[in-house]
Amino acid sequence: MHKNSSTFIHEQQETMAKIGYIMVTPHYDNLEADRSWMNEYGCIQIIEESEENEKTRPLWKKLMLSLERGDEVVITKFSNALRGSRELAIFLEFCRVKVIRVISIRDRIDSGDTLFPDTKASAILEMFGSLPDEALALRKAAAHETKLKQKMILSADDMSKFKESKKEKEATIINMYMAGYPIDEIWRACGYKSRSSIFRVLNENNIKLNRGKHSGPIKKWSERKNPIINRDKQESSE
């Protein structure tokens, strides 16, 4: 028995997959709202691309390869999912050929002409015109955020190496001082910016200074002033 066309179309609609996609970029304020919208709409999966992958977008490419005829793609905004007008043209042609329904939440566009009946042609043309600038701004923000993280965040291994290097320097300073090396040689060997760093390390490790004008623990500046001058100042103030 052959199925009639209405039954076939109904079964096709029941098997269509609804999949959401979000490029999670810095300062994206609508993430929770858009995620909730996609869940309520019935998306079986919500793909969230990391900002570190903004340029290559492996999850978006994987999604395109997995789509079947009649599926639905729900995006937050065209400028969020696509990197420019060229990609938009390729994407729309792909969806036309495979009969993929596209829904853009923030652009209020539904290729199925159901969800946003009040959207005018002028709004769609505005989306086309503003997409290059919006996509470029998104790329710059993601790239900047990634660079900041790379510069400011040390990995556990890097931090461990840094601490180990600091300990080795301090041990070198102490050993060289105890062996009688001049301060200038110790300074050059350890690579600190100033000689005061050498004395700071020695003082922190309770090493008694025993050469030159330095003897015993390092005193505060006020304690190192001439006591006669201090006494004269006190008498004059009285």
Q: Which tens digits make up the pLDDT trace of 160-191?
A: 666 667 788 888 888 888 878 888 888 888 87
* Same domain flag for 104 and 23: yes
* Same domain flag for 34 and 121: yes
- The residue written with tokens 């006669």 in the block is 228
* Same domain flag for 179 and 79: no
Q: Which of 102, 123, 151 is the last residue of a domain?
A: 151
* Same domain flag for 142 and 214: no
On average, the pLDDT of the chain sits at: 79
pLDDT at 11: 42
Rg (CA), the chain: 34
Q: Which of 131, 151, 171 is the last residue of a domain?
A: 151
In the predicted structure, residue 28 carries a pLDDT above the cut 50: yes
Q: Which of 128, 151, 174 is the last residue of a domain?
A: 151
Give the integer Cα–Cα distance in Å for 133 and 77: 13
Task: Look at the chain and report how many structural domains it folds into.
Answer: 2
Domain encompassing residue 221 = 159-237
Give the integer Cα–Cα distance in Å for 113 and 54: 30
Q: How many Cβ atoms sit within 10 Å of the Cβ of residue 186?
A: 21
* Same domain flag for 194 and 120: no
* Same domain flag for 122 and 177: no
**CATH number of domain containing 26:** 3.40.50.1390
The per-residue pLDDT for range 43-60, each reduced to its tens digit, is 999 999 988 888 899 999
Residue 184: which of 173, 168, 171, 169 has the closest Cα? 173
Name the pLDDT band for 124 (thresholds 50, 70, 90): very high
Across 91-97, average pLDDT: 95
Joined tokens for residue 90: 């390729």
18: enclosing H helix or E strand? strand 18-23
* Same domain flag for 20 and 134: yes
* Same domain flag for 141 and 164: no
How long, in residues, is the chain? 238
* Same domain flag for 127 and 10: yes
* Same domain flag for 124 and 19: yes
Higher model confidence: residue 178 or residue 154? 178
- Beta strand residue intervals within 29-82, DSSP E: 45-49, 72-75
* Same domain flag for 14 and 120: yes
* Same domain flag for 81 and 194: no
Joined tokens for residue 39: 């869940």
